Structure 1
């Protein structure tokens, strides 16, 4: 045997022995571990932070039979596509993102998922979108009707809150006239009269985005609420306004004790082919441990206040989109399933 062949044979034996020892050290339970991948938004985003809290809770409660991991993606649509193509189990999304998916709007036009579309599964926290004006003009705006066709900045075009305000205007039958400006120039646009109003938003009713935190330091603002008749029209469209206490998010008085905002329900949804028993188990675990979720991130506060109702609200926002059988079973168990909704096949 040549020196080269002898070394190759010895190395192969050593590698084989190492692999045999490694395989022998893996217990049958570990070998059969099921991986649950949370495809989320980019590192540093709020969706990524939420995904980590959820995954840690599920890993602790599901035990050694599961490996729960977080996989960040550059965009929410990228996370959604990865799961629909089979490269993950839970996809970070929102009710407005689900609407775009099922309507075939960009970035989902001409998209055919390799494994299947997402369905309603797990809704975890809200963002709340509302209208603001310069305080000096608050007398001109008494309802959303006063924004009909008027130039407004509704957050960056294509973003979730922009999509939310677009569906609000569509539900009310008003013209949506968006003016695209840089986030940092909102206060200047108010002063220059470039916009008549702008959409503001909070996360879980308490946290303002950075650019609104800066804008309120430079401009005096007032909140504008929908009229009672507009509130009813929004509810009829499945867009149920919620109360936001402005004192918890803003450092100034907005001229009202209550802002009525239309929520976006952010979610970690799955494909219909995930086991229904496992999905129901995941919901049961998170429902039982919702206080621990709040300890991990205060943004889970609204979920803790009404876990079951949050799931139902997520479905109600898009009632034509199917709900996962596991979610349907969970909602039936808690008396909040609507027989008009569809269970995914």
Structure 2
């Protein structure tokens, strides 16, 4: 073999050995990356958009040792069930969804999780539910008591705001008389008097769902607030009304300077077996980067205004449900832990 060929072969062998060593070094490192799967609602939904912003922020904070991915599901309950069966780490839910889960209500009445139940872990944004009527009929309604037993469209049956209004009426002791209609026909149902009122809702006090945006273009509306006595009853039930500026979300005046709505706290919760130190670290990353979250979606505004308080409010809505040890440690660090709450696994 010529000297040139010999040197070429030696160089080729050396390069091959170096490449093999490099691959052998990289492969274990890649294999050691921990995957965190965020199970959320369907692509195009608000929950999916929020999950994407969260995943990007968590990924940036945790670094290359982790891979944070978003997994969409057709429904919120589907996302929750997938995580409880071990097919994800964070499950998209809300305080009312957690209530249904722990009460064994549909679709969880025959459900037995393969890995474990979701527990309070991370609350991310509120939706606020309230009552609306036709402006021409506003003098007929002065409180939520005026809707007691009356035909009302409480948003589509089974949806989170429907569940929220059901628990509001239960706390007040009023009859919940839901009339199911196509949400696109709210204005028509008002005019036909097939409903006396309807539940409306905003996301983070700012935006309306599409069907309400269309309804307010076709009908003059008025908001009906609970009385002070009703608000006290709601607070006693852990349903603390919050103020909403109607001029921010609506394009018309609603006859009130402020709307009092009962918030739903939407969450990405984990099972109790999720690593406590990692959960606390993720909470700290999000707490430190709330402005980045707002840049990704303005719906994070209330979270940015009071990140710790949002976590505490999410727990307080269902104080009997266990709290993840990582969230418990985070709340204790920030002086917002309530000793009456239960830490999962303790």
3-state SS of 1:177 partner: coil
Look up the match of 1:14.
none
- The yes-or-no answer on 1:319 pairing with 2:319 is yes
Aligned counterparts of 2:186 and 2:77: Cα–Cα separation in 1: 27
Alpha-carbon displacement from aligned partner over 1:137-175 (angstroms, at most 9, x marks no partner): 111111100000000000000000000000000000000
Unpaired runs of 5+ residues, structure 2, are: 1-16
Deviation at 1:257, TM superposition (A): 1.0
Distance in 1, Cα, partners of 2:96 & 2:23: 46
Matched with 2:63 is 63
- 2:118 aligns with 118
CA RMSD of aligned residues (A): 1.4
Number of aligned pairs?
Answer: 328
Q: Give CA deviations for 1:68-112 in whole Å, capped at 9, x if unaligned.
A: 010111111111011000010000000011011000000001100
Give 2:143's aligned residue: 143
Q: TM-score, normalised by structure 2?
A: 0.93
SS in 2 for 1:263: strand
C-alpha separation in 2, matches of 1:113 and 1:63: 31
* Shift, 1:28, TM fit: 4.0
**Map of 2:80 onto structure 1:** 80
Secondary structure at 1:327's aligned position in 2?
Answer: helix
Describe how 1:92-241 pairs up with structure 2 within 5 A. Answer: 92-241=92-241
Q: Give 5+ residue unaligned stretches, structure 1.
A: 1-16
Counterparts of 1:227 and 1:134, CA distance in 2: 19
For the 8 Å contact 1:33–1:67, the answer to whether it is kept is: yes
Kindly state the Cα deviation for residue 29 of structure 1 after the two structures are TM-superposed: 3.3
Aligned equivalents of 1:20 and 1:314: distance in 2? 51
Q: Deviations 1:277-325 (Å, cap 9, x if unpaired)? A: 0000000000000000000111100100000000000000001100101
Name the CA shift for 1:20/1:117 in 2 (closer, same or farther; >3 Å). farther
Aligned counterparts of 2:20 and 2:189: Cα–Cα separation in 1 = 68
TM-score normalized by the length of structure 1 = 0.93
Which 4+ runs in 1 deviate beyond 6 A? 19-22
Structure 1 residue 21, shift from structure 2 partner: 7.4
2:4 alignment counterpart: none
